[in-house]
Amino acid sequence: MTVIPTMLAPGKRKPATDIFYHDVIQGLTAPQKYLDPKYFYDATGDALFQQIMQCHEYYLTGCEMEILRQQSAQIAQALQYYAGTFDLVELGAGDATKSVHLLQQLVNNGVDYTYFPIDISANVISQLEKSLPAMIPGLRLHGLNGEYFHMLQQANLHTSRKKVLLFMGANIGNYSLHAARTFCQQLRGYLQPGDLLLTGFDLKKHPKIILNAYNDAAGITRAFNFNLLHRINRELQADFDTNKFEHYPTYDPATGACKSYLISLEDQVIHIGKEVSIPFAENESLYMEISQKYSLEETDQLAAQAGFKPVARFFDHRHWYTDCLWKCV
Ligand code: AVI
């Protein structure tokens, strides 16, 4: 059965919901059905992601925390050495629990800089504006609430200094290799020769360790994936029944692609509002997210393809994760 969706009459939805609706319909009517993982992060998704980061299987957060806790002095030294005088811009700052160690170290070193945290959540930015200056006396902070590239433009208006850009948390892994290259090239377009980028990569390692990180025994990652179906039900008046789908995480050690799917357990039709019907065949997959894993050579290749030169790397003690420092050439 093929059902062609029709759009609602304009003006019936709020603009943000319209974009969400459009993206969901586009994904669910593609030959390989998919959803954009940026929509995982509503209030429940944020809370579930916090829980994922506490899961013992999800090693990524602990690795990067170890690097920032134990090597902020070395990182700060490298930033000062390669950039001289700079301002610090962080993409997707979140609650800054990791970067706070670096911020404190730079203040301790007497570095005169402004921290520009960028985040899509207005709530996150106003929390940071309250909490960080109290935690780190002497820190100059200018929060920027909005999309990465738009806010990078804003940051450029506020500073003529060199920029050190932080993009941590292995967020780059949520792009395919091809999309990561495009993203880094775009980032490079907002930077000048001599600017720096510190970015976190989850490294290739034993496949079972990686797969378990996306298949925790408590089922939190499963709930994180299903939450997006609940969100679509609630915000777009859909009728996904999560009992009729199974969470199916995969990892391919040859390519480093860790991909999550939901598998339809039967032939079924999902309705979105009154206008749209989406057929799912039994065993059909819905692609949810990629978390790409890298070799060190692949991080260097990515740097070169996007106009950066790798200048330093920082590892956790198991070498499972790296924060790479790249300089714009
Ligand atoms: C945010 N991002 C780096 C996480 C990751 O590891 O890909 C999102 C996530 N998805 C499932 N677990 C964690």
pLDDT score of 7 more than 50: no
Same domain, 192 and 71: yes
Interior/surface letters 59-94, b for 16+ CB within 10 angstroms, e for the rest = bbbbbbbbbbeebbeebbebbbebbeebbbbbbbbb
Give pLDDT, residue 10. 46
Same domain, 224 and 91: no
Give pLDDT, residue 121. 85
CA 168 to chain centre: 8
Give 165-190 pLDDT, tens digit per residue.
Answer: 999 999 999 999 999 999 999 999 99
Percent of the chain at pLDDT above 70?
A: 95
Average pLDDT over residues 148-156: 94
- Mean pLDDT for the chain? 94
pLDDT score of 234 more than 80: yes
ipTM for the assembly: 0.99
Give pLDDT, residue 168. 96
Give pLDDT, residue 120. 84
Cα 102 to averaged position of ligand 1 atoms, centre (Å): 23
Q: Would the CB of 201 count as within 6 Å of ligand 1?
A: no
Q: Looking at the domain assignment, is residue 176 inside a domain?
A: yes
Same domain, 167 and 270: no
How far apart CA 155 and CA 90 sit, in angstroms, is: 10
Q: What is the CATH number of the domain that holds 311?
A: 3.40.50.150
- Domain around 224: 15-36+209-292
Cα 320 to averaged position of ligand 1 atoms, centre (Å): 15
Same domain, 168 and 306: yes
Q: Would the CB of 173 count as within 6 Å of ligand 1?
A: yes
Same domain, 175 and 122: yes
Q: Looking at the domain assignment, is residue 7 inside a domain?
A: no
pLDDT score of 11 more than 90: no
Same domain, 183 and 310: yes
pLDDT-derived band at 9 (thresholds 50, 70, 90) equals very low
Same domain, 303 and 164: yes
pLDDT score of 5 more than 80: no
Which atom of ligand 1 is nearest the CA belonging to 224? 11
Whole-Å CA distances, 287 to 47, 55, 130: 22, 23, 38
Same domain, 282 and 215: yes
Q: Looking at the domain assignment, is residue 90 inside a domain?
A: yes
Cα 260 to averaged position of ligand 1 atoms, centre (Å): 10
pLDDT score of 4 more than 60: no
pLDDT-derived band at 13 (thresholds 50, 70, 90) equals low
Q: Looking at the domain assignment, is residue 4 inside a domain?
A: no
Cα 212 to averaged position of ligand 1 atoms, centre (Å): 12
Same domain, 253 and 225: yes
pLDDT score of 31 more than 60: yes
Which residues have CB under 8 Å from 47's CB, separation 6+? none
Output the pTM of the full model: 0.94
Same domain, 24 and 113: no
Q: Would the CB of 174 count as within 6 Å of ligand 1?
A: yes
Average pLDDT over residues 35-58: 94
Q: Is 172 left (phi over 0), alpha (psi -120 to 50) or beta?
A: alpha
Give 91-141 pLDDT, tens digit per residue.
Answer: 999 889 999 999 999 999 999 999 999 998 888 899 999 999 999 999 999
Q: Would the CB of 170 count as within 6 Å of ligand 1?
A: yes
Q: How many domains does the chain have?
A: 2
pLDDT-derived band at 226 (thresholds 50, 70, 90) equals very high
310 φ, ψ (degrees, to nearest 5) = -65, 130
Q: Looking at the domain assignment, is residue 43 inside a domain?
A: no
Q: Looking at the domain assignment, is residue 51 inside a domain?
A: no
Give pLDDT, residue 123. 84
How far apart CA 77 and CA 252 sit, in angstroms, is: 37
Average pLDDT over residues 228-239: 98
Same domain, 160 and 240: no
Q: Would the CB of 52 count as within 6 Å of ligand 1?
A: yes
Q: Looking at the domain assignment, is residue 50 inside a domain?
A: no
Question: Two tokens at 96?
Answer: 């800054």
Q: Would the CB of 210 count as within 6 Å of ligand 1?
A: no
Average pLDDT over residues 13-26: 87
pLDDT score of 199 more than 80: yes
pLDDT score of 259 more than 80: yes
Cα 189 to averaged position of ligand 1 atoms, centre (Å): 26
Q: Looking at the domain assignment, is residue 23 inside a domain?
A: yes
Give pLDDT, residue 3. 46
Give pLDDT, residue 314. 98
Average pLDDT over residues 23-32: 98
pLDDT score of 296 more than 80: yes
Same domain, 253 and 199: no
